[in-house]
Amino acid sequence: MTTVARRLGTVDATAIGLGSMLGAGVFAVFAPAAASAGNGVLIALVIAGFVAYCNATASAQLAATYPASGGTYLFGREVLGPWWGFLAGWGFVVGKTASCAAMALTFAAYAAPGYERPVAVAAVAVLTAVNCFGITRTAALTKALLAVVLVVLVGTVALAAPSVAAPAGPWFPHGPLGMLQAAGLLFFAFAGYARIATLSGEVRDPARTIPRAILAALGGAVALYLAVGVALLLVLGSDRLASSRVPMADLLTVAGYPGLTIAVRIGAAAASLGALLALITGIGRTVMAMAGNRDLPPPLAAVDQRFHVPRRAELAVGATVIALVLLVDLRGVVGFSSFGVLVYYAVTNASAFRQPATERRWPRWLNVAGFTGCVVLALTLPIVSVLVGAGVLAIGLAGRAAIRS
């Protein structure tokens, strides 16, 4: 059987993770977070960043020990058992497939207002084709898109810096629950480092590369998110930030540069494309691993002999995302996607906790903190998101039980 080639170095893997975290979320997530937490949005960001750090160390420790494609689906199977692995894999696939459609629609909203669905479909089709022609092309395109996003974000924050003032608006308008909901929303934007773990079967020297890439990507994202959050809060104020549909563009307008908002649109479109590209790649590798264990249809486990990529899995993911783009409005299911991601990382932390001392790189208390954080943030999401997320996970578990019976 043809195996996936190990072609990625530390820079490539870091770029894929950072490109995922600096997706459409950085251009939109601060508005709903401010609506929940007011001026406390930066505290919520710190909470989300800490939970993400716990998850990142668990992911890095596991990926260094089990250097094969599949992420926590593989880790859960190896450490906790097949049912736990399936729960993580199913949560990842369902939640991140919904995220792909959201990213595609976000790209289209910035790039072609009024033509969102056809442009989103075209974007998914093109990026799926890029994935099918090899991971090195994926890494190269991700780095190019990431460069555009970094220039736009750093430039916008620098231009807005002279306009900062004391924070205006309420602190913690919805109390502790609002703070935790804001942290859950902001955590959604941090989750891109999982893409590195799902690609560990294609990374050179994974025991060294994976931990370095995951922590470097997360550290870079946290630093940039803090800079953006401070600028938005101190220039717009929490009330205006909470009601803004395009907060980064409004930031430039208030700072006195309305003519440069086109740059933000370009940056948002590039960020969405970069995140969508990395998401499709990561989901495809998880689908391949699950199919290889007969948790999904076995033909999806095939690897293309020429380009060494799981082409059938990539095409299946792309087709599903296109169907969602055409049929569903995903604005109301962001919380559902967050629920699936948090379940995924809860299993990650539980798996890392069970690793023996010879495989450990970080203390067990980080796994306990990460698991607790994931559970708390998942359960404090809007009730509809919790119920729908739990229902879809139950359907997946029931389906696996039927296949295995």
Residue 38: beta bridge partners? 171
Q: Is the pLDDT of residue 5 over 60?
A: no
Find the distance separating the first CA and the last CA of the chain, reported in whole Å: 28
Contact 340, 393 (CB under 8 A): yes
Residue 203: beta bridge partners? 8
Separation of alpha carbons 128 and 393, rounded Å:
26
pLDDT band at 2 (very low <50, low <70, confident <90, very high): very low
Q: Is the pLDDT of residue 25 over 80?
A: no
CA distances from 122 to 107, 178, 326 (A): 11, 37, 11
Average pLDDT, the chain: 82
Angle between helices 334-353 and 72-79 (to 10 degrees): 40
Separation of alpha carbons 229 and 237, rounded Å:
11
> What pLDDT score does 149 carry?
82
Q: What is the pLDDT of residues 104-140, one digit of tens each?
A: 887 887 788 788 899 999 999 998 888 777 655 556 6
What pTM does this model have? 0.81
Q: What is the pLDDT of residues 309-340, one digit of tens each?
A: 778 888 888 998 998 888 877 556 677 788 88
**% pLDDT > 90, the chain:** 17
CA distances from 167 to 153, 157, 162, 234 (A): 21, 16, 14, 5
Q: Is the pLDDT of residue 203 over 70?
A: no
Q: Phi and psi at residue 38, in whole multiples of 5°?
A: 60, -140
Contact 307, 84 (CB under 8 A): no
pLDDT band at 1 (very low <50, low <70, confident <90, very high): very low
> CA triplet 345, 315, 65: central angle to 5 degrees?
35
Q: Phi and psi at residue 362, in whole multiples of 5°?
A: -135, 160
> What pLDDT score does 372 carry?
97
> What pLDDT score does 97 carry?
85
